[in-house]
Chains A and B, each alone.
Chain A
Amino acid sequence: MKNQSINTNEEYKYGFTTDIENIRAPKGLNEKSIKFISEMKKEPKWMLEWRLKAYKRLKNLVEPNWQKPKYPKIDYQNLYYYSAPKSASNKPKSLDEVDPKLIETYKKLGIPLNEQKKLSGVAVDAVFDSVSVATTYKEELTKKGIIFCSISEAIQKHPDLVKKYIGSVIPITDHYFATLNSAVFTDGSFVYIPPNVRCPMELSTYFRINASETGQFERTLIIADKGSYVSYLEGCTAPMRDENQLHAANVELIALDDAEIKYSTVQNWYPGDKDGVGGIYNFVTKRGACRGKNSKISWTQVETGSAITWKYPSCILQGDNSVGEFYSIAITNNHQKADTGTKMIHLGKNTKSKIISKGISAGKADNTYRGLVDISRKAKNSRNYTQCDSLLMGNKCGAHTVPYIKNKNSSSTVEHEATTSKINEEQLYYCNQRGLNQEEAVSLIVNGFCKEVLQQLPMEFAVEAQKLVGISLEGSVG
């Protein structure tokens, strides 16, 4: 794996024919390809300037190298930064052409047939059930004044909102991958909830039309105006068909006075095979700003996929009485590596944060929790509670905890606790005795271990996620 170069053009691991005829930006990272992307997206001038500014900055940055998971060097000049499929004709025509293993997983997760088609990239008819479902939803949202569209559409139709908020949480001067994304992002979601509106449904990328092929440099911007509420779901429990090896997405959340954003992620991208060959590098920057008083941002994530996951969904608690939450399950098997955690930056008075992180490591995998709790001098009466538990299966894997805790305030309280252990033999034995086989028993126990986090997921997601936890650990015990 170490010596393999990253190539977006590589044949897809599940055995699809991937040689789709594409419209592509010129190869390489340069001003020309950025201009090409901007032009293809018919972006206004200010957007292009913003991208170029980020690119200029990028030239002075170096890739970070402090993180635990090491990966082969990425040749940024050998990547295509824009590629849109010309037609759907080259995609698999029916589910029969899709890898049976993938179909088997879908069945285990209980995903309806039509969804299976969409997920595996099968070209679908115009009258596809979920499309019409999506259209009905869209009407309902428009009635309430909610804007939910792709970021490219938002740049054209709602430039004022985008201009005001884009880059305000993750500035173009941020770290390498975030800046790279700012320069070359291709698409993503945009959500705006007007004041005092409670979004009536869980928004999901799945329901967004034209959401397929979001690309490797995704950019999401969610703004919850005063007194509003939104719950957003990203990703899917099913393995995603994806051809790009490097993913550097940026997600920005902004919550104004009394607003609440709940952001849930289930990530199950291709983790590479049993020997650790291939797999996605998931280098994501997610950051939320609780700008207003009494605002709340809650991150929930279930990370089971990707060869390397490297992400720290963070909360900047600027407004007084604002609340940040982070619930995470990271499961790594075989040669997967996950380095994930959160940053809770307390700036306002009476701010609260809660971190619950569960790491499960099996096979030869490495799982790291890395987090920061920073209570500034002005954040009087702030409160943090952190709990990170790790579960190890076998002695070839690793579990690490690296919390940074800074407290500069005498009226604030910070608590952190962490444990590392293995699955209790007695519990396993008990389950076996009651007729569960080894794998079912492990799945049951691990689900119990993760319960606090799974509870945070929206109902329909939670059921699938539970099954996913079991599937991810298949073959790790016994």
Chain B
Amino acid sequence: MIENFKINSNEIDKINFINKEDKNFRIENLNAFNSTGFPSKKEEDWKFSDTQAIFSKNFKKLNLDNSNSKETDIKLIKDFDHNYVFLVNGKLVNSEFKFEDKSKIKISNYHEEKFSETNSKNPFICLNHALSNNGYYLEIKEGYKFEKVLVIYNLFTKDLSSQILNNKNKIVVGKNSELHTVNYTINRSKNKFINNSYESTILFENSKYKNICIQASKSDGYFHKFSNNKLRSDSNFSSFIFSSGLKFYKQDINIDLEGENSECDIKAALFLDNDEHQEIKTKINHLVPNCKSYQKIKNVLDSEGRGIYQGKIYVKDIAQKTNAYQLSKALLLDDNSEFNSKPELEIYADDVKCSHGSTSGSIDENSIHYLMTRGLTKKEATQLLINGFLNEIISEIKSSTIRKFVENKIELQIHGY
């Protein structure tokens, strides 16, 4: 049963590259996970995403076997020139940096690098710490700016069924460097499976990192992703999250603004329908003065789509002159859809500008009426308005080729409405 899903410690022995210290850490985390199991809505952080209920409804059993699939054929994106990293079920299989100076880039399997991670109370992170066996490590050396975007193809193979995959990735952007990535997930499995990933990012002084997260098509995946981002002074982190098309996706984003004048922004445009459940949870920690953070989350929810936004801004007492902003907007198209939000502020410094807003409601009837008087059908009018609603986020992508690519993907989804 999933309700009391426990993992046997011999699973750890199956991972062959670990040393003794690592093993102790894994066992500790395994015990932590076993003591709680998948979190339920009784936990404050999981109030709106009851994984225990969701998993036990959708999975009869779960297994930890690695896939033996040899699938490696994918269609590369032709819309724009790019470098790529190719992952199969989270495992690094190939990479190509033909537009870049290869001496400035280091890419390897994650277990070839030392990862020092701290313990967490989040059972998914414990599970990942205990069992992660795949992933990549990417480092951009000091003073190097990427010429072209880097696409991270994440392929999930046909044979996946009831698996839990645990991956761990790390990205290091050196001083004065710049990196722009697109996370592109392709899911071939027609079955349900769980992907639990952990990503840590360090941005050194005056570096920039931009990330866009998008899926190739709809699928039956159940994903959890925790990302831990540390920003040194004058660095800039920007993340775009687009419709996942997954059945369940919880993105837990932690950002520590550690250096002065660092900035981060998170923007999301999601279109969810048919029983899709997606949560974005952010925690932005303003630890030093003069930092900026900006969050804008837009959700469109159709038949039984559930959108959740839990955002927290924490401002430490010394972090004066902080500028933090949080906005979540949702459009509910169907009476079975649902939007829950918890935009939280925790502020201990007085000379700050912090504000948040959250709205949810239906499409403006007057706008629909106006468009219909101009000859559009109701469906066309609705689609146009949804498009406009989400476009506010998409239009902020600077590169025009990538923006077009994203626009097309989103439009395909809306047309299904």
Contacts and interface: CB of A to CB of B under 8 A. Distances in A.
B340 A405 contact: yes
A394 B349 CA distance: 7
The residue among B336, B350, B358, B361 with the most chain A CB atoms within 10 A of its own CB is B350
Given A392-B350, A395-B350, A414-B361, A401 B335 contact: no
A202 interface: no
Contact of A418 (B336, B341, B345, B352): B345
A398 B336 CA distance: 39
Interface stretch (B115-123, B326-334, B366-374): B326-334
A351 to B, nearest CB: 15
Given A66-B44, A396-B317, A407-B330, A420 B345 contact: yes
A94 interface: no
A400 B362 contact: no
Contacts of A87: none
Nearest to A375: B360
Contact of A404 (B334, B342, B361): B342
A398 B338 CA distance: 32
B344 interface: yes
A396 B348 CA distance: 7
B111 interface: no
Nearest to B308: A406
Q: Report the contact-size class of chain B (Cβ under 8 Å from the partner).
A: 35 or more
B338 A400 contact: no
Contacts of A414: 358-361
A419 B354 contact: yes
A18 B198 CA distance: 61
B345 A407 contact: no
A416 interface: yes
Interface in B71-101: none
B159 interface: no
A384 to B, nearest CB: 9
Nearest to A372: B342
B355 A420 contact: yes
B51 to A, nearest CB: 18
Contact of A407 (B332, B333, B347, B349): B332
A420 B320 contact: no
The residue among A394, A395, A403 with the most chain B CB atoms within 10 A of its own CB is A395
Contacts, number: 121
A411 B330 CA distance: 12
A96 interface: no
B417 to A, nearest CB: 13
A90 B344 CA distance: 50
B355 A413 contact: no
B358 A402 contact: no
A441 to B, nearest CB: 17
B6 interface: no
A410 interface: yes
Contacts of A413: 359-362
Given A377-B335, A405-B358, A410-B333, A394 B350 contact: yes
B347 A390 contact: yes
B339 interface: yes
Interface string A412-434: 11111111111000000000000
B346 interface: yes
Contacts of A396: 317
Contact of A398 (B344, B348, B357): B348
A403 B310 CA distance: 10
B344 A419 contact: no
A66 B45 CA distance: 12
B279 to A, nearest CB: 13
Contacts of A398: 346-348
A400 B352 contact: no
Nearest to B342: A404
B342 A410 contact: no
B317 A410 contact: no
Contacts of B361: 407, 412-415
Nearest to A422: B350
A396 B318 CA distance: 10
B348 A395 contact: yes
B351 A422 contact: yes
B273 to A, nearest CB: 13
A405 B362 contact: no
A417 B357 contact: yes
A406 B334 contact: no
A393 interface: yes
Given A395-B317, A413-B362, A414-B361, A402 B344 contact: yes
Given A395-B320, A414-B361, A420-B347, A407 B339 contact: yes
A453 interface: no
A408 B48 CA distance: 13
B415 to A, nearest CB: 20
Contact of A393 (B347, B350, B357): B350
Interface in B349-402: 349-362
Contacts of B358: 403, 405, 414-417
Nearest to A406: B340
A469 interface: no
A392 B317 CA distance: 11
Contacts of B338: 406-408
Given A418-B356, A420-B352, A399 B343 contact: no
Contacts of A399: 345, 347
A109 B359 CA distance: 41
A407 B340 contact: yes
B128 interface: no
Contacts of A397: 348, 350
Contacts of B356: 401, 416-418
A420 B354 contact: yes
Nearest to A368: B346
A409 B355 CA distance: 26
A415 B359 contact: yes
B350 to A, nearest CB: 4
A166 B28 CA distance: 51
Closest 8 CB pairs of A and B: A413-B361, A392-B350, A410-B332, A401-B345, A416-B358, A417-B357, A420-B354, A419-B355
9 contacts: A399-B347, A403-B342, A403-B344, A403-B358, A405-B340, A410-B333, A413-B361, A417-B357, A419-B355
Given A409-B332, A413-B360, 14 more contacts: A395-B317, A395-B320, A395-B349, A395-B351, A398-B346, A399-B345, A400-B345, A401-B344, A405-B341, A405-B343, A409-B335, A412-B362, A418-B355, A420-B352
Interface of B: 44, 47, 317-318, 320, 330, 332-362
